[in-house]
Amino acid sequence: MFKWEIKQTDIVKMRKSLLKLQSMIEHEAGVLSYNNAASFRAMLLRNILTQKFATTYAPYSPRYAEWKTQKMLLGSHFWKLFGDVLENITLHRRNDGWFAGIPEGIYDSGGKSWFATKTNRVGKKKPVSMYAIVMEEGLNSHPARPMFGPTLDEYAAGEWIRQAEQSLKRINEAWR
């Protein structure tokens, strides 16, 4: 038969350690969510700016390719994924976590149209997220140019695991 004797000071130390561990786990839940959102945003912006997945895109129609080439020769940045979409990929809180993306309710300045001229800005205000959806999924004759999905796959395969390992390391260090 065994007899266990636990000192009151040991119980106090163990309780204190468990409370510290619980506090660290709760803290890390928020930190991990924020860190993942921030590093995903950074990777997404980097991939957009370098057009990392451009070689996987379906080709443009000959008519659009010609139009785009003319715009490029004139120095227009109209076709690039800058401006409204790029500037509105932000970090935002939703429920208990952090997300990187384009929040709902953000609209462009209006006047964007394939048929606009310098004096005639055709087009009403549109949700910025619409531009990202069209790029990601395509629309009618506009082929998809996905960036969010491939970047998410890339993130999940590497950076997400690294962020989780760092979080677990910090939790482990709290149990001392």
- Please report whether residue 1 resides in a domain: no
Q: Which of 32-46, 73-87, 134-148 is the most confident on average?
A: 32-46
- Please report whether residue 84 resides in a domain: yes
Once rounded to an integer, what is the mean pLDDT over residues 45-60? Answer: 80
Once rounded to an integer, what is the mean pLDDT over residues 150-156? Answer: 95
* Alpha-carbon span 76 to 60, nearest angstrom: 18
Residue-number span of the structural domain to which 143 is assigned: 8-174
- Please report whether residue 101 resides in a domain: yes
Once rounded to an integer, what is the mean pLDDT over residues 138-155? Answer: 87
CA dist 52 → 55, 59, 74 (Å): 8, 16, 24
Query: Within a 10 A sphere around the Cβ of 118, how many other Cβ atoms?
Result: 5
* Alpha-carbon span 136 to 146, nearest angstrom: 4
Query: pLDDT tens digits for 67-82?
Result: 767 766 666 555 444 5
* Alpha-carbon span 93 to 105, nearest angstrom: 15
Number of domains in the chain: 1
Give the HSE-up count for residue 67: Cα atoms under 13 Å, Cβ half-sphere.
Answer: 9
Where would I find the H helices in 51-123? 62-73, 83-87
